Amino acid sequence: MLDRSFATRVAFDRLLAKAGVRAEVAFDVNHIEIAKRHVLTAGGVTILPEYAVSVEVADGTMVARPLADLHAVLDTVLFTRKGASHSKATQTFLDALLDAAKDF
C-alpha cells in the first residue's frame, strides 16, 4: 500500500473504517512505481489513483476494480495483476472490500 502521505491511502483507510473492515497491510511504500512493480511481480493487490496505472490497464498487464466511495473523491481503484490467482485470505479480503464498497 501507499503510505499515509498519499491522499489515496488516507481515503482508503477512511473507507475501511466506515465499513468496519480491518486490513493488515503487508508493507507501506512511498512511491507509486514500487507498489505497481510489487503487483506485477508478486501478484499482490494495491490501491492507487487511476491515472497511475493507465498504461498498464491499456496494455492489459493490470486490471482495475473501481471502489465507489473512493472513486467519487479521488478516482481511486483497486489493482491486481491480470489473471492473478490469490490466496484464500487475499481473495476473501478482496471480496469483502468490493462488497463493502457497493454500499457507498
Angstrom distance (rounded) from CA 17 to CA 23:
10
Cα 43 to Cα 1, 56, 90, 104, distances in angstroms: 13, 14, 11, 27
pLDDT in tens, the chain (104 residues): 999 998 888 888 888 888 888 888 888 999 999 999 998 998 888 888 888 999 999 999 998 887 766 544 444 566 677 787 888 888 887 787 777 766 55
Residue 52: half-sphere exposure toward Cβ, Cα within 13 Å: 21
Q: Residue 2's pLDDT is what?
A: 93
Predicted TM-score (pTM) of the model is 0.61
Cα 31 to Cα 6, 7, 50, 56, 101, distances in angstroms: 9, 13, 15, 16, 25
Angstrom distance (rounded) from CA 54 to CA 50:
6
Cα 70 to Cα 38, 43, 63, 86, distances in angstroms: 22, 23, 17, 23
